[in-house]
Amino acid sequence: MGVLSALKPEGVWKYFEAICGIPHGSGNEKAVSDYCVSFAKERGLKVWQDETWNVVIVKEASAGYEDREPLILQGHLDMVCEKKPDCDLDFEKDGLRLAVDGDDVYAEGTTLGGDDGIAVAYALAILDDDRILHPRLEAVFTTNEEVGMDGASALDVSMLKGHTVLNLDSEEEGILLAGCAGGCSAGIALPVLREQRRGVKLLLTVDGLKGGHSGAEIDKGRGNANRLLAVVLTELRKEIDCGLILAAGGQKDNAIPRESRAELLISEEHAENIIQKAENICAAVQKRLKEEYGMADPDLSICLQRKGTAEAEVFSEETLSHAITLLTTLPNGVICMSKDIPGLVQTSLNLGVLKTEQEALVLRYSIRSSVGAEKEALVEHLRRTAEQEGASVKINGDYPAWEFRKDSPIRKDCVRIYKELFGKEPKVEAIHAGLECGILASKIPNLDCVSMGPDMSGIHTTEERLSISSVERMWKYLLELLKR
Ligand SMILES: [Zn+2]
């Protein structure tokens, strides 16, 4: 007897438990992919599997539904593998240790992978049950979603007849997603000329910031440590002669940096006076920035430490001037808000990484927009500004947006049936982060798509939980949608 066998709907939990029994972290999807292929073969369903282990299963329409528009059901096979420090589970070999607590299913010591195992479970349970009425169903299970959506990018869609997608990779019941941002990463490299100098080294740090996700939290008004470091450097340079040895902050371009630092060099002569002056400037800037960011970032701190006398290679005056111009004039944060969806950030960028290499100062931005043309325009703006300062720009990891459709037949049906079933209006939203729907929309012309899912909390963490009652409500909702 399985841990979940008493739960309803039986079919969904049976397949969810089966998937949880097969290790399926990102990059390790072959076994779960093979499981889906065997499932299809045993039932005489058409199935495709590719070399990235994506799986497509097709079930023809029920009697009387042959003339309906085919429907694509989509989710991803991979999960994020996180475990508690004392957990001995081996994600490469072991199944998850499922448990039930009240209305929640969770996995002991690890992530549950409800994101997005529940999508696969729903689809298999639907495909398995010949009593369910439905149009031609095309179940699309992708791989590597959590680490760059490589599966969706590699997916061959030539066997798909549908132009309508129900993506099952959202985690709040009652919210229908109708759009997501596309994005890319922009790396700007400013060549660095250096000159040898002797002097007193100072370490300048900006820290105590909250940081956060560069998509979901870009509109929270939080400080970006790399940008604030540039503000301090600008103020220091107005009053004192200080050379820059290095500047660095942040680890990932898609995280708002919490901390950034610079090593400075000042002359040995009158060092005490200069340090005093520099400390006063730092204190004044800190006071000003605390007023500006106080609500969002109350622990912001700017600190200057003396590090002793040394020989060092500092940026040439010209390089430093280009560096500061880049850091202060390139845009950062929210660029514009959506006019269709209240509260949605439409376009933004985040200076996530600043680092100093021997030959170059590197700035890495994560750029996002739910409007493809705006993303292009922003990239072009970065390129022009960078080139004016003698820097070069490289773009990578480009992924397309899923643009909001004012007129979407599937969304209309989803809203209508939700109201009929639950007596209330679902919320229609879009997110300022990536979903595979954007990649599908770039491959399937005229794609009409909605993303939904049952209530989950703590996804990508060991606190992940999946609501049993919500899974059942979403199941009923899905069956009604198939009948539409
Ligand atoms: Zn997911």
Q: What is the pLDDT of residue 195?
A: 96
CA 119 / ligand 1 centre spacing (Å): 9
Q: pLDDT confidence of 433, banded at 50, 70, 90? A: confident
Residue 275 confidence (pLDDT):
96
CA of 76 to the centre of ligand 1 (A): 7
- Ligand 1 mean position, distance from CA 419 (Å): 26
Q: Is the pLDDT of residue 178 over 80?
A: yes
Could you tell me the domains of the chain?
10-181+402-483 (3.40.630.10), 184-399 (3.30.70.360)
Record the pTM. Answer: 0.81
Q: So what's the pLDDT on residue 361?
A: 98
Exposure b/e, 325-336, CB count within 10 A at least 16 = b: bbbeebebbbbe
Tell me whether residue 145 is one of the annotated catalytic residues: yes
Q: What pLDDT is stored for residue 397 in this prediction?
A: 85
Q: pLDDT, tens digit, for every residue of 194-233?
A: 999 999 999 999 999 999 888 888 999 999 999 999 999 9
Residue 268 pLDDT: 94
pLDDT at residue 1 is higher than 80: no
pLDDT confidence of 430, banded at 50, 70, 90?
Answer: very high
Instruction: Give the per-residue pLDDT at 386.
Output: 97
pLDDT-based confidence at 340, cuts 50/70/90? Answer: confident
**Predicted confidence (pLDDT) at residue 148 exceeds the cutoff of 90:** no
Please tell me the distance between residue 138's alpha carbon and the centre of ligand 1 in angstroms.
19
What distances in angstroms separate CA 153 from CA 52, 71, 355, 442, one per listed residue? 10, 20, 30, 10
Q: What is the DSSP letter of 460?
A: T
Residue 374's pLDDT band, with cuts at 50, 70 and 90, is very high
Confidence tier at 348 by pLDDT (50, 70, 90)? very high
**Which residue in the list 17, 29, 104, 145 is annotated as catalytic?**
145
Q: Point out the catalytic residue in the list 29, 78, 116, 436.
A: 78
Q: Judge residue 118's burial from the number of C-beta atoms within 10 Å of its C-beta, 0-12 exposed, 13-18 middle, 19 or more buried.
A: buried
Give the model confidence (pLDDT) of 55-111 as tens digits: 999 999 999 999 999 999 999 999 999 899 899 999 999 999 999 999 999 999 999
Q: Stretch 372-392: mean pLDDT, rounded? A: 96
Q: For 207, which DSSP code?
A: E
- 193 CA to centre of ligand 1 in angstroms: 45
Q: What is the pLDDT of residue 93?
A: 95
Residue 72 CA to residue 301 CA, distance in Å, equals 51
CA nearest neighbour of 59 among 123, 144, 150, 155: 123
**Structure confidence by residue, pLDDT tens digits, 180-205:** 999 999 999 999 999 999 999 999 99
- Please state the rounded mean pLDDT for residues 309-329: 96
- Residue 124 — pLDDT band, cuts 50, 70, 90? very high
User: What's the 117 CA to ligand 1 centre distance in angstroms?
Assistant: 9
Mean pLDDT, the chain, rounded, equals 95
Residue 461 has pLDDT above 90, yes or no: no
Predicted local confidence at residue 484, as pLDDT: 81
377 token code pair: 């325009």
